[in-house]
Amino acid sequence: MSLINTAYLLYNNRLIKELDLSSRQPELFQDKLFKDLLTHGQQTAFGKEFGLNEILSISDFQQHIPLHTYDRLEPYLLRSLKGEDNVLWDKKIYWFALSSGTSSAKSKFIPINWENLHYCHYKGMLTQLSSYVRTFPQSGLFRGRSLTLGGNRHIDKKVDTSYYFGDLSAFLLINKPQISRSFTTPPREIALMTDFEAKIEAVSDLILKQNVVSFSGVPSWNLILMRKVLEKSGKEHLHQVWPKMELFMHGGINFEPYRSQYKELFPLDTMHYLETYNASEGFFAFQTDLSDGGLQLTVNNGVFYEFIPLDKLEQALTGSYVTFDTIGTVSTGKTYAMVITTNSGLWRYLIGDTVRFTSLYPHKIKITGRTKLFINTFGEELMIENAEKALAETCEKTGSAVNEYTVAPVFMEGNGKGAHQWLIEFEKAPEDTDLFVRLLDSAIMEHNSDYEAKRLHTGTMDSPHVVILNKGCFYKWMAQENRLGGQSKVPRLWGTRQYVETLLKINEQLNDRK
């Protein structure tokens, strides 16, 4: 182990010990955190309204504090945005991370305070890096620069208040410790550029001249940057540009559709891929073992977790009392909607993600989808996990590769059957599109018995309708929606045709220009 790696692990020894202990006794950390969060919430407007000072147990908490979607929490957040203190938390809220999502609001304003930034986001990142360096003691992470491609929303100040709002990546950048800046790239003046395409040009010019050893962010946006660097370099692959490149810390969307494309860019076996679960609301989990796809939950990171079985979610949203699982009662193999209470004042907040535990002690999860991002138009209950697996298997069998895709229902008309319409932008299109459709249909049936029943037994659904889009179609749509970069993601499954109709029009425009 190098001297700098040894020094880093010694400095962060407490985090490593905490990670190991929390693997064995997660309830210990969650119980202590739960009591601490209640203490901070008691004197807030929210706490007084719901009697947090009378809550004595987790059971009390679940009975008396309702489940909150963003729409239900928004009135409190608007009070904070108008300058009122102690609404949801007893510490000053300085920043609000803008996050698109499945609420009725165009943008969600997620509160971030100093404690949340340092003892959730930064702490999670440091723990993740410490775990990686311990696993790979010969790592050269500190012998070069780490690249982060942030979003394109700049930071704005709320009029007549001391509050700022913008991308989480921007807040992480401007508040990061000075010592870390010598190991990171790009500098602030480039990282905070609001024009995404101009930022790609500026970042690619800069990092071509630097010794980049790791990078992080959403796979789709980083793929655009990496291809731009390869184009400018004139090299065959990017290990010829960065011989010491070793790590991509990715999150936000499923990595599997992109893995083969990154393998072409970084062909050496020394390249590692580490998945993280870091959202605007908090840093939740990361891979501690790169051979295991499960992400270990961070249980002493300012976030108290509850998990509601997906089949009980609708009942809970109506206000009916439902017993939620906690870290000590969850089971493997079951799909849960994740509910969080955080040290920034999100109380029993339905974050919108669904997870499945792959192991207990240590508690590891896989993100299986979104509570609203699924299609159940015909009783088929197609979840994102089914779609991602089926698509990855089909691409492997046909030698194809996907850049982006989205799926929407084709509604029944007259005596016609329903179907799913897949809009796919290929990096490498299949030679036989009909074969691709047959294999995709078969793979979905293999992973989803409800879909299989609707396809084969009830006669309500046809095979998928696949539309191959022109390259650049999704990028143009994201630009049109002002969703380039950062944590913005293409909605994979949607129960309406809101997005696909717009994408089809853009595709027609691109066809007309040919």
DSSP 395-432: HHHHT-EEEEEEEEEE---TTPPBEEEEEEEEEE--S-
Q: Is 416 exposed, middle or buried (0-12, 13-18, 19+ CB in 10 A)?
A: exposed
Q: Provide the pLDDT for residue 486.
A: 64
d(CA 61, CA 398): 51
Q: Is the pLDDT of residue 419 over 60?
A: yes
Q: Is the pLDDT of residue 104 over 50?
A: no
Q: Is 399 exposed, middle or buried (0-12, 13-18, 19+ CB in 10 A)?
A: exposed
Torsion angle in degrees (nearest 10) through CA of 262, 267, 272, 275: 10
Range in 31-40, 232-241, 280-289, 500-509 with the lowest mean pLDDT: 500-509
Tens digits of residue pLDDT in 296-327? 999 999 999 999 998 888 888 887 777 899 99
33 band by pLDDT with thresholds 50, 70 and 90: very high
Range in 98-102, 377-381, 396-400, 416-420 with the lowest mean pLDDT: 98-102
The model carries a pTM of 0.80
The single-letter code of the amino acid at 334 is K
Tens digits of residue pLDDT in 162-208? 678 888 888 888 888 777 777 899 998 898 887 888 889 999 999 99
Q: Is the pLDDT of residue 154 over 70?
A: no
Q: Provide the pLDDT for residue 432.
A: 96
Tens digits of residue pLDDT in 329-349? 999 999 999 999 999 999 999
103 band by pLDDT with thresholds 50, 70 and 90: very low
Q: How many of the other CB atoms lie within 10 Å of CB of 454?
A: 23
Kindly give the pairing relationship between strand 156-157 and strand 184-185. Answer: unpaired
Q: Is the pLDDT of residue 102 over 50?
A: no
**CA 482, 491, 190, 196 torsion-angle sign:** negative
Could you tell me if 474 and 425 are in contact, meaning their C-beta atoms sit under 8 angstroms apart? yes
Percent of the chain with pLDDT over 90: 59
Supply the mean pLDDT for the chain. Answer: 89
Q: Provide the pLDDT for residue 459.
A: 67
Report helix, strand or coil for 157: strand
Q: Provide the pLDDT for residue 93.
A: 87
Q: Provide the pLDDT for residue 492.
A: 87
> Which tokens sit at 150?
């942030």
Scanning the structure block, which residue is given the tokens 């009916």? 320
Tens digits of residue pLDDT in 376-400? 777 787 888 889 889 999 999 999 9
